DNA sequence: CCAATAAATAACTAACAGGTCAACTATAAG
DNA sequence: CTTATAGTTGACCTGTTAGTTATTTATTGG
């Protein structure tokens, strides 16, 4: 064989970053190559188009970053409801950090790109759908368990997870548009209200 | 004077339609001109750039369509809570109609474009913010009244309106991405739960 | 150390997009 | 019926973008 390369990974990382900082449509292949320090010839050695790269980049993002993070945050060692509130808090923190680092709230690349290109680029849209679907499953499972535990009112977990993803992604998009992470501050509270969490502490601990 | 023209209106309408069907970034000035049946020279007679046109188009959309519609739906002649549920139902209906007409769920152009270009095109983003802000005020006022009426639990109307806009726009974006208006079916129910609406009918009517 | 081949590169083309402009045309007002 | 002028037009220019290719380079396993 011959030499190995990291150019494909650099391209995927650059694509994610640029699409996140700007948008899918605003980023050109040349932009991506420049950021990744890869020549265009090499780009076409690894990928057939911008959309093709974007699909690979989203999957890579999921596998390398999001899945491990979600697995940890939604670990069975954590109370079901606490998984959700912890996750909601982490969204606020993350967006606050990106605002500090980039001067901009950047939101969620998967959701942004997914809804941006939903009427074009079917393969890319399918990948975005897939990833959003995976996230939904974490919510569903936590909600289902929380109902079983009695931490939240009985409900249809699928329905509630859908409402939750709406609330989350809607507010994250709002925060991006307003460039203000503070819109996400009360997200955990809003989430708990949406989920009809029961009045906090269990009865036997309530009289201190 | 000399002849009058509707070219600017045609351009604004074409721009809204195309941005809605695709995205801001995917639409070129040539596309807009073709759709509007206007030559590029005329485009630059009325507008200085695509972003400039988009700003005018969003404002035009608001003034000519959205504001009248919102004023009617949030009319003082309607019960405060019914304003909100009626509005939420209408979202489902509208998206179902666009799916039937275009074969695609297209979502909300203001929110889509606003979050797409939020890190570029500051003037356009400012206009999107402005319009979203105006919608928020309808929600706030209805929520405030509903609290006063006792139709929903006491709360901070500003905060609740923010949560509501998140839920709405998040789910609309989800419906667009999934190309499935059914995601919006339970939006009125979800909205009522988020708002903590009180158990429906007043007490004196509850025993049938 | 050498050969096979994965990876990198420069240099290129063709199409397209944004933007300009001088000349032209319709029409409303007098 | 003029005529001033808002409005229209097509031709043109320029930079950018996607996509291609022939050639070179590095490296790794034998």
Give the ipTM: 0.93
Q: Which residues of chain B lie closer than 8 angstroms to A129, CB-CB? A: 177-178
Cα Rg of chain B, angstroms: 20
Q: Does the beta-carbon distance from B167 to A170 stay under 8 Å?
A: yes
CATH of the domain at A114: 1.10.357.10
Is there contact between B7 and strand D, defined as CB under 7 Å from any strand atom? yes
Tokens 């206007």 belong to residue = B38
Q: Which of the nucleotides lies closest to A41 (Cα–C1')?
A: C9
Cα(B92)–Cα(A54) distance, integer angstroms: 31
Cα B38 to the center of its chain, rounded Å = 27
- Domains of chain B: total: 1
Confidence of residue A202 (pLDDT cuts 50, 70, 90): very low
pLDDT tens-digit readout, B174-207 = 999 999 999 999 999 999 999 988 765 444 444 4
Find, among A167, A171, A165, the residue nearest to B132 by Cα. A171
A158 is in which domain, residue-wise? 50-198
In this structure, of A9-18, A80-89, A152-161, A193-202, the range with the lowest mean pLDDT score is: A193-202
Domain presence at residue A65: yes
Cα(B21)–Cα(B17) distance, integer angstroms: 6
Domain presence at residue A127: yes
Give the single-character DSSP code of A195: T
Nucleotides in C strand less than 7 A from protein CB: 4-12, 16-22, 25-29
Domain presence at residue A2: no
Q: Which of the nucleotides lies closest to B8 (Cα–C1')?
A: D7
The reported pTM is 0.94
Q: Which of A119, A178, A193 sits opposite B196 (nearest CB)?
A: A193
The three-state DSSP-derived secondary structure of B47-79 is CCCHHHHHHHHHHHHHHHHHHHHHHHHCCCCCC
Phi, psi of B161 (to 5 degrees): -65, -40
Residues 26-45 of chain B with CB under 7 A from strand D are: 38-42, 45
Output the pLDDT for position B4.
84
Q: Which of A106, A116, A167 sits opposite B23 (nearest CB)?
A: A116
Q: Which residues of chain A lie closer than 8 angstroms to B174, CB-CB? A: 115, 132, 162, 165-166, 169
* Across A154-176, average pLDDT: 98
Neighbours of B105 (CB within 10 A): 25
Q: What percent of chain A has pLDDT over 70?
A: 94
Q: Which residues of chain B lie closer than 8 angstroms to A111, CB-CB? A: 173, 177
pLDDT tens-digit readout, A82-100 = 999 999 999 999 999 999 9
Phi, psi of A152 (to 5 degrees): -130, 160
Distances, alpha carbon B144 to alpha carbons A164, B195, B198, in Å: 24, 11, 15
Cα(B1)–Cα(B6) distance, integer angstroms: 16
CB A156 within 8 A of CB A76: no
Domain presence at residue B161: yes
Phi-psi region of A186 (alpha: psi -120 to 50; beta: other; left: phi over 0): alpha
Find, among A1, A23, A14, A64, the residue nearest to A42 by Cα. A14
């Amino acid at each position: 064989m011959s030499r190995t390369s990291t150019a494909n990974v650099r391209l995927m990382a650059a694509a994610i970053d640029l699409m996140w900082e700007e948008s899918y449509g605003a980023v050109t292949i040349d932009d991506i190559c420049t950021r990744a320090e890869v020549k265009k010839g090499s780009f076409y050695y690894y990928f057939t188009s911008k959309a093709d790269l974007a699909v690979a980049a989203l999957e890579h993002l999921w596998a390398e970053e999001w899945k491990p993070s979600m697995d940890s945050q939604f670990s069975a060692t954590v109370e079901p409801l606490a998984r959700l509130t912890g996750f909601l808090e982490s969204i606020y923190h993350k967006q606050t950090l990106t605002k500090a680092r980039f001067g901009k709230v950047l939101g969620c690349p998967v959701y942004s790109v997914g809804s941006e290109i939903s009427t074009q680029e079917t393969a890319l849209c399918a990948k975005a759908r897939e990833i959003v679907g995976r996230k939904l499953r974490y919510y569903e499972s936590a909600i289902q368990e929380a109902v079983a535990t009695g931490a939240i009112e009985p409900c249809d977990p699928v329905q509630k997870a859908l409402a939750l993803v709406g609330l989350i992604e809607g507010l994250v998009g709002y925060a991006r548009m307003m460039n203000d992470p503070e819109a996400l501050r009360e997200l955990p509270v809003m989430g708990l209200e949406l989920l009809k969490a029961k009045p906090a502490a269990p009865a036997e601990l309530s009289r201190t």
